[in-house]
Structure 1
Amino acid sequence: MRFLTGQAENPEPGRRAVLTRALGLAAAAGLATAAATPAAQAAVRASQADWRFCTKCYGLFFRGYPSDGACPAGGGHDSAGYNFNIPHDIPETPTAQHNWRFCTKCYGMFFWGYPDNGRCPAGNAHAAAGYDFVLPHDIPETANSQRNWRFCPKCYGLYFYGYPTNGRCPAGNAHSVAGYDFVLPHL
Structure 2
Amino acid sequence: MGFLTVRDEDPQPGRRAVLTRALGLTAAAGLGAAAAIGAAAGPAAATAKTASTRASQADWRFCTKCYGLFFRGYPTDGACPAGGGHDAAGYNFNVPHDVPETPTAQHNWRFCTKCYGMFFWGYPDNGRCPAGNAHAAAGYDFVLPHDIAATSKSQRNWRFCPKCYGLYFYGYPTNGRCPAGNAHGMAGYDFVLPFL
User: Same-fold call, TM > 0.5?
Assistant: yes
Deviation at 1:22, TM superposition (A): 10
Deviation at 1:154, TM superposition (A): 0.1
1:166 aligns with 2:175: yes
Structural RMSD (CA):
2.5
Unpaired runs of 5+ residues, structure 2, are 1-28
Deviation at 1:28, TM superposition (A): 1.9
Partner amino acid for 1:131? Y
Could you tell me which residue of structure 1 aligns to residue 14 of structure 2? none
Deviation at 1:45, TM superposition (A): 3.0
After TM superposition, the score normalised by the length of structure 1 is: 0.82
Percent identity for Structure 1 against Structure 2: 85
Task: List 4+ stretches of structure 1 deviating above 6 A.
Answer: 31-36
Query: Is residue 42–residue 90 contact of structure 1 (8 Å, CA) maintained in 2?
Result: no
Alignment length, in residue pairs?
Answer: 167
State the alpha-carbon separation in 2 of the partners of residues 35 and 108 from structure 1.
Answer: 38
State the alpha-carbon separation in 2 of the partners of residues 22 and 131 from structure 1.
Answer: 31
Unpaired runs of 5+ residues, structure 1, are 1-20
Change (3 A) 1:162 1:27: same
1:148 aligns with 2:123: no
Q: Secondary structure at the match of 2:58?
A: strand
Could you tell me which residue of structure 2 aligns to residue 116 of structure 1? 125
State the alpha-carbon separation in 2 of the partners of residues 43 and 154 from structure 1.
Answer: 36
Could you tell me which residue of structure 2 aligns to residue 55 of structure 1? 64
Change (3 A) 1:94 1:78: same
After TM superposition, the score normalised by the length of structure 2 is: 0.78
Q: Secondary structure at the match of 2:185?
A: coil
Could you tell me which residue of structure 2 aligns to residue 67 of structure 1? 76
State the alpha-carbon separation in 1 of the partners of residues 141 and 48 from structure 2.
Answer: 16
